[in-house]
Chains A and B, each alone.
Chain A
Amino acid sequence: MQHRLSIQMQNNEGALVRLLGLIQRRGFTVEDINMPNTSGNVKSVSLAVSPDHDGRSIDVLQKQITRLYDVDAVTIDGPTVEADFTADKTVESDRARIKIPTGALPSFQNKAGVIAGLRK
């Protein structure tokens, strides 16, 4: 399950590295991150994170982030819905990363052909 965290922090030296390192060490993976450019030293960071295994509590992670000296506030915006590509909805993006099993595609031409097909 993914969770979305909104973090307000002072953008002091190393603050973002410290934040991301803590999340990784405490057993979560950062799924996406958004940090808009703002004037001044205060940054708002929005993160989607998912636990690497059971037993890791988002509430404990929230408290562990809160105790970072650079961090002013952390809110949990609630679990985010995991992407469900079977549902009837459109995903728009400028870029997509597509994993193609190499064994099924012996040649570059084939791979290019698959990608061309996807574009249509």
Chain B
Amino acid sequence: MTPNMPGDMAERSTDGSAADTVAPATISGAQLLVEALKAQDVDTIFGYPGGAIMPVYDALPGSGLTHILTRHEQGAALAANGYARAVGKVGVCLATSGPGATNLVTGIGDAFMDSVPMVAITGQVTTRAMGTDAFQEVDMFGLTLPIVKHSFIIRRAEDIPRVIAEAFDIARSGRPGPVLVDLPKDVCVNKIEHPVLSIASGQKLMSAPAAQIDEAEEMMRNARKPLLYVGGGVGMAGAVDALKAFAKRAGGLPAVATLKGLGAIPTDDPDFIGMLGMHGLKAANIAVQECDLLIACGARFDDRVTGKLDTFAPHAKVVHMDIDPAEIGKLRHADISLAGHLAPTLDALDPGVLQIDDWKNHVAELKTAHAWDYDAPGDGVYAPALLHEMSKKAGEKLTISCDVGQHQMWVAQHCHFQRPEAHLSSGGFGTMGFGIPAGIGAKIGAPDDTVITVTGDGSIMMNIQELATLNRYKIPLKIVLLDNQALGMVRQWQELFFDGNYSEVDLSDNPDFAALARAFGIEAFSIEARSEVPDAIDRLLAAEGPILMHVKINPKENVWPLVPPGKSNNDMMEGV
């Protein structure tokens, strides 16, 4: 079996409009799957072949679908995840049964926690062999129950078009999420006659009820210190313009954002204060603690945001708008519940210009008083300053994917974002190894964007094999590796909360990362002096192919400020 041949990305067709092919009178389940995917406007899938899924791989060459071969199924799931986040379409990943399927689990869990629309298709042993402990059999349906929005086992080939249409509908409608489709081998091989290929699908966007909109407007007019609390739901709902228009109708509203809400309001917007929460900007957390009305927009009062929940925004009433009614009142009582699609709900909200000049002036003073300081002592590279400079130089087409740890927080704190899809970060799940595969997915989905993966020396090793994918398809991803020779975030917590008992965080025996990247066929260079930073950023941004910039940083540099776990957001530490 020959997988789709690798080719230069520039030559790769991105035309996904091949869905109107006429099906032959007799067709296999695998061919039916391919047609069903094309009917959903799928053009790219990420995967890895193997035994039970071979009939599907047999149907791929010449099908019009582009298959990206990753070097580990987790890479495929996270690439589909990154693709979906960057493009807003449903990401698709494909793996064989057993270990192939279980390797997808982390990427599916990540998509579930961050509400990413994804369809994961797994091969399965034949329907007759299921339940007999057959070779490479695993109950993927059962394994993934807690981390999928829904799941299917397809037991008849003729069900494939209906199930695939349903799976895509479920994945992208309402609050998006991953859907698993488990596909036994015999279902792929079976031939059926005169299949029905197209299934109509669609969704209706419902706003929150008018009476509650009126009450919310009244509450906004009565507030003296209202604050927008912007979550990842705004970007996922495509409600960025609606949010900006609503804030404008209100005369401008001070706003804070969660990790996943960053970019919905551009970083340099005068009303935007910054990220709130555990590693938020101090001004943002102070504003939350002082506000008298919190307008939560597609956010879920996550523990990394609220700190100690009963001290969070203690003086505030809450207007909570979300597509998922189960999020409203889950952790914090909502005085007004606006359950509905965010865009029409925001469109309906018009409280008039709010008389809050004193509050806005106060917030502006807070922002100035607690602005970031990029003057750090010494001659070494100061990572926050590097990231800040890099994001400003990269321009509006910048998309950053990152891994998990200290560098992830520095990206959120110090990079400038103009749109939410520009910041791809594993928020809820915190998946180390997310960065490079997500960057691959983003660059393939949005080839005109400048896609940079910011990673750490711990995280990069979790999916280092995907450097081979970059080389195979010549994907011009730019990797910035911040190397502190440690699991930095764990080290920071051990320093602060475990009496400096450093346990299993020393990575000083790391490989030579630049040499390793070159072994994969990728341009790479290393820097360690601050004076090298400007030229290094220029080289990174100018590179035409994949490139890795290895940056040695001070192992003792920590992320500040920090709200200790379980503490109130009033108790921010700003250094030791």
Question: Which A residues fall within an 8 A CB radius of B?
Answer: 13-14, 17-18, 21-22, 25, 57, 59-60, 63-64, 66-70
Contacts and interface: CB of A to CB of B under 8 A. Distances in A.
Chain B residues touching A, majority SS: mixed
Given A17-B145, A18-B145, A25-B146, A60 B329 contact: yes
B326 interface: yes
A63 B326 contact: yes
A14 B329 contact: no
A60 B149 contact: no
A69 B150 contact: yes
B142 interface: yes
B212 to A, nearest CB: 16
Contacts of A25: 146
B109 to A, nearest CB: 13
Contact of B146 (A14, A21, A69): A21
A67 B329 contact: no
Contacts of A17: 142, 145
Contacts of A18: 145
B87 interface: no
Interface of B: 141-142, 145-146, 149-153, 170, 174-175, 324-326, 329-330
Given A60-B329, A67-B324, A13 B153 contact: yes
B146 A57 contact: no
Given A21-B145, A25-B146, A69 B170 contact: yes
B152 to A, nearest CB: 8
A29 to B, nearest CB: 17
Given A67-B324, A69-B150, A69-B170, A59 B329 contact: yes
A30 B149 CA distance: 22
A57 B329 contact: yes
B112 to A, nearest CB: 12
22 contacts: A13-B141, A13-B152, A14-B142, A14-B145, A14-B153, A17-B145, A18-B145, A21-B145, A57-B329, A57-B330, A60-B326, A60-B329, A63-B326, A64-B326, A66-B325, A67-B174, A67-B175, A67-B324, A67-B326, A69-B149, A69-B150, A70-B150
Nearest to A17: B145
Given A13-B153, A14-B153, A17-B142, 5 more contacts: A13-B141, A14-B141, A60-B329, A63-B326, A67-B324
Nearest to B309: A55
A69 B174 CA distance: 11
A120 B174 CA distance: 60
A3 B170 CA distance: 30
A43 B352 CA distance: 49
Contacts of A60: 326, 329-330
Given A25-B146, A69-B170, A14 B325 contact: no
A21 to B, nearest CB: 5
B99 to A, nearest CB: 22
Nearest to A60: B330
Contacts of B141: 13-14
A25 to B, nearest CB: 6
- Of A21, A57, A63, most buried by chain B (CB within 10 Å of CB) is A63
A67 B141 CA distance: 18
Contacts of B175: 67
Contacts of A57: 329-330
Nearest to B333: A57
Contact of A63 (B146, B149, B153, B325): B325
Contacts of B145: 14, 17-18, 21
Contacts of B174: 67
A22 B149 CA distance: 12
Contacts of A64: 326
A68 B145 CA distance: 11
Contacts of A21: 145-146
B208 to A, nearest CB: 15
A84 B257 CA distance: 50
A59 B326 CA distance: 9
B301 to A, nearest CB: 12
B495 to A, nearest CB: 32
A32 to B, nearest CB: 22
Nearest to A70: B150
Nearest to B146: A25
Nearest to A21: B145
A67 B330 CA distance: 14
B156 to A, nearest CB: 12
Contacts of A66: 325-326
Report which residue of A22, A67, A68, A70 has the largest number of chain B beta carbons within 10 angstroms of its beta carbon.
A67
A17 B324 CA distance: 22
A18 B142 CA distance: 9
Residue of B150, B153, B174, B175 with most partner-chain A CB within 10 A: B150
A69 B163 CA distance: 13
A98 B396 CA distance: 70
Nearest to B330: A60
Nearest to B155: A13
Contacts of B324: 67
Nearest to A57: B329
Contacts of A68: 150
Nearest to B141: A14
Contacts of B153: 13-14
A63 B151 CA distance: 19
Contacts of A70: 150
> Quick one: which of B142, B149, B153, B330 has the most chain A CB within 10 A?
B330
A26 to B, nearest CB: 10
A63 B152 CA distance: 22
A11 B329 CA distance: 29
A68 B150 CA distance: 8
Contacts of B330: 57, 60
A49 B149 CA distance: 23
A70 B166 CA distance: 12
- Considering the complex of A and B, which 9 residue pairs feature the smallest CB-CB distances, nearest first? A63-B326, A69-B150, A64-B326, A63-B325, A60-B330, A21-B145, A67-B326, A18-B145, A25-B146
Contacts of B326: 60, 63-64, 66-67
A89 to B, nearest CB: 37
